[in-house]
């Protein structure tokens, strides 16, 4: 798992470096060329439902620069053979670009101190005959101390030609309560372990635990919206052994904690998984 994380970090770093170099070259030019257009509108993402099999989608990396904004988007190869999935990835990227463009439009003729920026990297995390999982990670900067994190996961079912969403994965409120309790316990245990190594006074320790627990409780409340970003983890037989729920910065902790995730075992999930998808899971 550490290797996968490192690969994603290197890919995102490479994309960010390419974007920065392009922006630097643009600033060094006396008469910069006009910016390539950024989409004005964008569909909501991620998309769900059955995708038309005869609607191929081209996934092309993007690097666009102007004095006001820099855009860098990269896609993994070989995903065009899943048109519905490819369409959802493009929709997500277009949505992110549309929001960046709105911020750029708000500048009028002004030039920001630092160019606004969209950096977005898609990576294939899993591919089996039953599941294709893609992660989207990046940020959108439109001023301020740091960029807005962009975190999304896409779970495609090739045999059904449709996206698997959280509300389909877990069928009822009782199931989300079980997920909520498990995830919150794991996150609180991590915080307690980390704070125990910080050599804090007992009063400081208790206050820090209370603050962290409030954020965790809010971000893991038993609702489908809090668990919408997830990726299945499979064993050697291709069956799902756990589901990794992913939480962007601010949802269950401060920005400095970055993106967090918790793996929920199949044994916790399976009693609550929708009947149509139970066969994807390992048993026993």
| Rounded Cα–Cα distance for residues 279 and 270 (Å) | 10
Domains of the chain: which residue ranges?
A: 2-163, 166-280
Class of the CATH domain delimited by 166-280: alpha beta
Q: Which of 123, 32, 34 is nearest to 73 (CA)?
A: 123
Q: Return the ∠ at Cα 248 (arms to 112 and 94), rounded to 5°.
A: 55
Q: Is pLDDT at 37 greater than 70 in this prediction? A: no
- In this structure, what DSSP letter does residue 23 have? H
Judge whether 93 and 152 are in contact, CB under 8 Å: no
pLDDT of residue 55: 61
Does the domain formed by 2-163 have CATH 3.30.565.40?
A: yes
Beta carbons within 8 Å of 44's beta carbon, 6+ residues apart: 91, 95
The Cβ of residue 266 has, within 10 Å, a number of other Cβ atoms equal to 21
pLDDT of residue 53: 52
The CA dihedral of 198, 203, 205, 210, to the nearest 10 degrees, is -160
pLDDT of residue 145: 85
pLDDT tens, 212-260? Answer: 999 999 999 999 999 999 999 999 999 999 999 999 999 999 999 999 9
Q: Of 19 and 232, which is predicted with more confidence?
A: 232
The Cβ of residue 251 has, within 10 Å, a number of other Cβ atoms equal to 19
pLDDT tens, 105-163? Answer: 999 988 888 999 999 999 999 999 999 999 999 999 999 888 999 999 999 999 999 99
Q: Cα dihedral sign for 219, 222, 223, 225?
A: positive
pLDDT tens, 53-105? Answer: 546 788 999 999 998 999 999 999 899 999 999 999 999 999 999 999 999 99
Query: Phi, psi (5° rounding) for residue 74?
Result: -130, 145
Q: Is pLDDT at 284 greater than 80 in this prediction? A: no
**Cis, peptide link before residue 117, omega less than 30° from 0:** no
Intrachain domains 2-163 and 166-280 with the same fold: no
| Rounded Cα–Cα distance for residues 187 and 182 (Å) | 9
**Cis, peptide link before residue 197, omega less than 30° from 0:** no
The residue with tokens 């038993």 is 222
The Cβ of residue 114 has, within 10 Å, a number of other Cβ atoms equal to 10
pLDDT tens, 150-175? Answer: 999 999 999 999 999 999 999 889 99
């Amino acid at each position: 798992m550490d290797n996968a994380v490192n690969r994603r970090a290197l890919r995102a770093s490479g994309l960010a470096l390419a974007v920065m170099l392009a922006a630097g070259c643009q600033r060094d030019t006396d008469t910069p060329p006009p910016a390539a257009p950024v989409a004005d509108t964008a569909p909501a993402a991620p998309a769900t439902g059955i995708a038309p099999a005869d609607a191929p989608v081209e996934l092309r990396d993007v690097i666009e620069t102007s004095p006001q904004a820099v855009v860098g988007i990269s896609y993994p190869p070989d995903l065009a053979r899943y048109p519905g999935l490819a369409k959802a990835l493009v929709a997500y990227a277009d949505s992110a670009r549309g929001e960046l463009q709105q911020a750029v439009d708000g500048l009028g003729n002004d030039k920001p101190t630092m160019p606004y920026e969209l950096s977005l990297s898609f990576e294939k995390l899993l591919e089996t005959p039953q599941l294709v999982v893609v992660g989207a990670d990046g940020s959108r900067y439109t001023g301020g101390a740091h960029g807005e994190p962009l975190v999304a996961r896409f779970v495609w079912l090739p045999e059904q030609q449709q996206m698997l969403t959280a509300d389909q994965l877990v069928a009822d409120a009782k199931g989300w309560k079980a997920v909520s309790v498990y995830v919150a316990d794991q996150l609180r245990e991590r915080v307690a372990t980390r704070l125990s190594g910080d050599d804090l006074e007992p009063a400081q320790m208790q206050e820090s635990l209370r603050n962290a627990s409030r954020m965790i409780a809010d971000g893991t409340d038993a609702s489908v919206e809090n668990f919408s970003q997830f990726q299945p983890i499979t064993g050697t037989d291709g069956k799902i052994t756990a589901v990794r729920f992913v939480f962007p910065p601010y949802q269950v902790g401060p920005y400095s904690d970055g993106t967090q995730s918790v793996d929920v075992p199949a044994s916790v999930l399976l009693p609550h998984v929708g009947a149509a998808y139970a066969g994807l899971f390992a048993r026993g």
